[in-house]
């Protein structure tokens, strides 16, 4: 999105970015210098929820699998979060973000009950919340033109509603043909929450 000028100001969006970065630094330090099992207690897993670790639905949103994972999620939060926050207000913005993360986590946990190993791994990341912001943005501004960099190189112009449609199709494809450690069910839950929240 092209904005007329860059003006830094503290907002809930910026606060989320700072908290995510600080949490990743703490996570990295704990994993390197202690024996604390972050995946067992803080990452989201079916096993953890069965043990009563319900806080995982919140803590997994502040953990990341590496610097690239963190950067991509923070980029999505920054790009879509600013205008969503301006439109909905700070409290509704935060409610949307964390609700998307929690419901996305529940979707992922339900997928983990399926007899497929791809959904059984612990999940970390702010992707569900970020997906909720993307869906909310596309629902609020469906005709807004966006310029995306395909493979971070090729510029592609599309309207927000088509970006959401593309993201939804990729997520559904990932659910049917799971590859890698991508939490597609969490993304889907986040997107649906963003749409329902705005409507």
Q: Residue 174: what pLDDT? A: 81
Residue 181's nearest CA partner among 125, 129, 121 is 121
Instruction: Give bridge partners of residue 126 from the DSSP assignment.
Output: none
| Local structure of 158: helix, strand or coil | strand
Residue the block writes with tokens 């503290």: 10
- The candidate with the shortest Cα–Cα distance to 62, out of 123, 9, 150, is 123
| CA-based nearest residue to 73, from 107, 44, 100 | 100
One digit per residue, the tens of pLDDT, for the chain of length 199 reads: 455 454 556 799 999 999 999 999 999 999 999 888 888 899 998 888 889 999 999 999 999 989 999 999 999 999 999 999 999 999 999 999 999 999 999 999 888 777 666 566 889 999 999 999 999 999 999 988 887 766 567 777 788 888 889 888 988 888 877 766 788 899 999 999 999 999 9
Confidence (pLDDT) at 14: 94
Q: From CA 5, how far away is CA 76, in angstroms rounded? A: 19
Could you tell me if 192 and 159 are in contact, meaning their C-beta atoms sit under 8 angstroms apart? no
């Amino acid at each position: 999105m092209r904005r007329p000028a860059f003006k830094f100001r503290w907002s809930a969006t910026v606060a989320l970015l700072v908290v995510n970065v600080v949490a990743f630094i703490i996570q990295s330090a704990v994993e390197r210098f202690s024996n604390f099992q972050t995946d067992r207690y803080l990452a989201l897993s079916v096993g953890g929820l069965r043990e009563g670790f319900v806080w995982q639905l919140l803590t997994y949103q502040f953990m990341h699998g590496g610097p690239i994972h963190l950067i991509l999620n923070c980029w999505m939060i920054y790009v879509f979060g600013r205008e969503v926050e301006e439109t909905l207000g700070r409290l509704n913005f935060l409610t949307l973000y964390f609700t998307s993360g929690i419901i996305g986590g529940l979707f992922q946990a339900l997928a983990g009950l399926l007899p497929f190993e791809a959904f059984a791994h612990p999940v970390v990341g702010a992707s569900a919340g970020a997906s909720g912001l993307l869906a909310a943005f596309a629902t609020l501004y469906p005709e807004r033109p966006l310029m995306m960099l395909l493979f971070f190189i090729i510029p592609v112009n599309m309207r927000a509603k088509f970006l959401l449609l593309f993201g939804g199709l990729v997520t559904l494809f990932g659910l049917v043909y799971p590859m890698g450690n991508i939490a597609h069910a969490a993304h889907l839950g986040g997107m649906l929450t963003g749409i329902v929240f705005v409507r």
